[in-house]
């Protein structure tokens, strides 16, 4: 008796050259990395600007001397993501000013709306 199959099995894929397999793997890694960076950037943006439990100025104050480094890295990551064609959250929302302090800390101030 012939074995039952709902659909015929797929034909085996042709073996790709080693260089093509490596190139495809690199493209896949680049896609995963860019997706991870965009997701991480978006989560951090929302944690700061859309937080319902702490205001943005208090969050920046809690960053202590890492605030300037984090804001600088975030801005550079946003520029890279934009250059790669990603749609990222806008920069600092209107109504806020960011002041970098010499020790690496920062002050975020809400301006009049």
- pLDDT digit string (tens) for 39-94? 999 999 999 999 999 999 999 999 999 999 999 999 999 998 888 888 888 788 88
Query: What is the pTM assigned to this prediction?
Result: 0.76
CA dihedral of 93, 56, 75, 30, whole degrees rounded to 10: -110
Per-residue DSSP letter, 66: G
């Amino acid at each position: 008796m012939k074995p039952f199959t709902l659909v015929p099995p797929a034909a085996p894929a042709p073996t790709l050259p080693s260089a093509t397999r490596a190139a495809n793997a690199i493209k896949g890694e680049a896609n995963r990395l860019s997706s991870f960076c965009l997701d991480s950037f978006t989560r951090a943006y929302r944690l700061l600007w859309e937080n319902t439990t702490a205001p943005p100025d208090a969050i920046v104050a809690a960053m202590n001397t890492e605030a300037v480094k984090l804001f600088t890295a975030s801005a550079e990551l946003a520029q890279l993501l934009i250059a790669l064609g990603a749609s990222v959250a806008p920069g600092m929302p209107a109504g806020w000013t960011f002041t970098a302090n010499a020790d690496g800390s920062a002050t975020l101030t809400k301006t009049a709306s």
